[in-house]
Amino acid sequence: MERAGGDRSARQVPPAAGTLDDRAQPPGPAPSGPGRARAAATADGGSGQDRSWQASVGAAITRPWARQLALLIVYIAAGVAVTWPRATYLSSGQLPALRDEAAYVWGFWWVAHQVIHLGNPWFTPLMVAPVGVQLGFHTLMPLPGLLLAPVTLTAGPAVSYTVLALLTPGLLCYAMYRVARLWLPSATGAIAAGAFFGLSAMLCEEAWYHVNLAIGAVFMPLALEASVRLRRACSGAHPASQETPPRRYPGVWPAVFLGVVMGAAVLTDQESALQAAIVAALALLPWLLRRPSMAKIWPSLLAVVVGAVIASPQLVAMAQEAISGLARVDPGALAVSYKKYGIGLPGMFSPTPRVADFGLGQLAAPFRHGHDSEQLPMYGSVLTALGLAGLAVSWRRRSAWLLALLWLGCSLLALGSSLWLAKTQHLPLMAWWHTVRVSNLMPYTWFVRIPGLSGFREADRLAILGLLPAALLAGATVNWLRYHARPLIVIVAALGVLEAGYSGRAFPKIGIIPDSYPAVDQSIRADHSRSTVVDLPYGLRGGIPVFGLPFDSRALVNATADGHPRAIGYVSRLPASAIGTIDGHPFFHYLVNAQHGWHITAAHAAAARRDLRHLNVGWLVVWSRSQLFPQTVLPYLKETGFRFDYRVGSILIYRPAGR
């Protein structure tokens, strides 16, 4: 069995006849320049240039970086295939009709806007107008936004978002392959581990709808790889050869690599960065505590310093928001949200809904217990079986049992604060936590009470962390088959394809919207007054708390085209002070009341008209008049002085009096 990363330089390679490799030439000075070319041409009958080109191509293909690039391309192509038809959204100019997607598009636009204007991306006056809002805890993804800024500025923010969603599964695969190559002897097992991770239904679905979580998950295997490399470098796991003198500071570059990974994780998605930090801590702390020494401590501190420096802009923005109290969330509201998330049993391990795309929908038993809000938080039956088999074939390895323990721990946490078996909720050792019933037997109930972790309100997202050891153990099974039952790998691959990826069909209620509305936005874009646009239904959304009604996702997408401040807002941490300030304006206060069906008196309408004169509202767009939008709203607009301007299909555009 070959050893991963082994040194094969000592192997004798017989020279190939007819090659131009210097190692294959007889002793003595070799001709160079034109003389060498003529000699080669004479030796091969006049086709020396062709053979030289072929040799160059062959040499490039055999180089490690070329093989790694080819594998990455294959992974990306596989990711596009298993998430089809998502790739068609690039040519059709479409987006999933969700506020999350609209917020991602807006975020790409805002980061690119601030890059070219050299502005601070962690505060915006263009949402929650006229107050503005801090974005330190928002899913802004500043690093991906910066890297894709050229695409955003040339092709638009929706294209950047879709490109990231398409690339993410392949990047996840490759990141997992890298760390699996450090643990598994064969490349076959490592390639399989990468596919089980990046092409899983769980992460492919996140790439569709929560791309910040999907791209953030890239840093979990990278953090593990960097931690393992740091341990090996500082422990002398791979001593230098006799010809190469030992390095004085062997842990410098592995420590820098780990710091860069952690810093980039913070600049991408803070929740995923926390899970990546858990991975690094689990890998390094036992090693540090076993035999403490400065040779171990100082590289670890260097990694912390490098990571803190790279992540400092994000950390400063978060600290400012936290110190000012804008990031504070009511504990009672958090406790209510805890019960909405969590995975039920046996859905965590049942076949994914992907099998329905192959006509095997009857195999996918009900996998949701009615309170799962994260779509597909499940490992799937194939990965579960292969992961358990991987533990069986690797039972002699201590690291295999540690991986299994991590998998088990994450799975228990992902169950949430209560235990759901099929459609029935169980609360063993029931207790009250801020007016919410929880189970004191469930680990998640205590996990969120750890200082700094109360904001981790989606328990089922911890299954993403559990996917890391599960994929490694599944790769161990394929590695064993590689040497003992190679034909069975074909069967494993076929079964894996049945559950891999996500096509968007599991949740048909999620519609599709265009990524631009030029007819709606033409007049607003021509208005350079920087006046505020009010979109109806009106509301402020994101995490908790919320205000008003759920707004139409098209409104935030349209905001990227004209650059006008928007009264609506979608922020992960919506400050209560911002809601209080907005609600203190009579216009918005009575608008929210009208949206809830309340009758607005003449005195209320007069107060709203007076307030409207100071708000610089220049446009009002009515996107939807559904059952969530009662008949009291349009009369309220008329009483406050708005006049109808034009219509685009069912979308109505109004202007205030005097404009």
In a domain? residue 237: no
Other Cβ atoms within 10 Å of 116 Cβ, number: 10
447 with 457: CB under 8 angstroms?
A: no
CA angle 274, 277, 283 (to 5 degrees): 150
Q: What share of the chain is helix, strand, coil (3-state, %, to 5)?
A: 55, 10, 35
Give the HSE-up count for residue 405: Cα atoms under 13 Å, Cβ half-sphere.
9
Q: How far apart are CA 198 and CA 175, in angstroms?
A: 9
In a domain? residue 133: no
pLDDT at 119: 95
In a domain? residue 325: no
Six-digit token string for 136:
């330190």
In a domain? residue 547: yes
What integer best gives the mean pLDDT of the chain? 86
Range with lowest mean pLDDT among 11-15, 364-368, 570-574, 592-596: 11-15
In a domain? residue 337: no
Q: How far is CA 68 from CA 11, 191, 217, 475, in A?
A: 22, 11, 20, 18
pLDDT band at 235 (very low <50, low <70, confident <90, very high): confident
Q: How far apart are CA 215 and CA 139, in angstroms?
A: 12
For the stretch 115-136, pLDDT in tens is 999 999 999 999 999 999 999 9
> 57 pLDDT exceeds 60?
no
> 650 pLDDT exceeds 50?
yes
pLDDT band at 373 (very low <50, low <70, confident <90, very high): low
In a domain? residue 4: no
pTM higher than 0.95, yes or no?
A: no
DSSP state of 29: P
pLDDT band at 434 (very low <50, low <70, confident <90, very high): confident
> 41 pLDDT exceeds 60?
no
198 with 173: CB under 8 angstroms?
A: yes
For the stretch 547-562, pLDDT in tens is 999 999 999 999 999 9
**Number of separate helices (H) and strands (E) present in the chain:** 27, 15
pLDDT at 407: 97
pLDDT band at 331 (very low <50, low <70, confident <90, very high): confident
Range with lowest mean pLDDT among 27-31, 121-125, 168-172, 415-419: 27-31
CA angle 84, 88, 92 (to 5 degrees): 155
In a domain? residue 33: no
Share above pLDDT 70 across residues of the chain, in percent, rounded to a whole number:
86
**Cα-Cα end-to-end distance for the chain:** 78
pLDDT at 356: 77
Q: 539-542 and 569-571: which strand pairing?
A: parallel
387 with 372: CB under 8 angstroms?
A: no
> 254 pLDDT exceeds 90?
yes
Q: How many domains does the chain have?
A: 1
pLDDT, greater one: 65 or 405:
405
DSSP-H helix ranges across 95-141 = 99-117
pLDDT band at 363 (very low <50, low <70, confident <90, very high): low
167-181 mean pLDDT: 98
pLDDT at 507: 73
pLDDT at 421: 84
pLDDT band at 340 (very low <50, low <70, confident <90, very high): confident
Q: How far apart are CA 11 and CA 594, in angstroms?
A: 80
Six-digit token string for 229:
């490399």
pLDDT at 567: 96
For the stretch 579-605, pLDDT in tens is 999 999 999 999 999 999 898 899 999
282 with 271: CB under 8 angstroms?
A: no
pLDDT at 624: 84
172 with 218: CB under 8 angstroms?
A: yes
In a domain? residue 637: yes
Containing structural domain, residue 539: 512-656
For the stretch 202-230, pLDDT in tens is 999 999 999 999 999 999 999 999 999 99
pLDDT at 53: 60
9-32 mean pLDDT: 38
Range with lowest mean pLDDT among 10-19, 49-58, 107-116, 524-533: 10-19
Six-digit token string for 522:
């033409």
Range with lowest mean pLDDT among 143-147, 358-362, 368-372, 477-481: 368-372
Closest CA to 316 of 189, 134, 578: 134
37-54 mean pLDDT: 51
> 37 pLDDT exceeds 50?
no
Q: How far is CA 413 from CA 284, 368, 445, 446, in A?
A: 22, 17, 9, 10
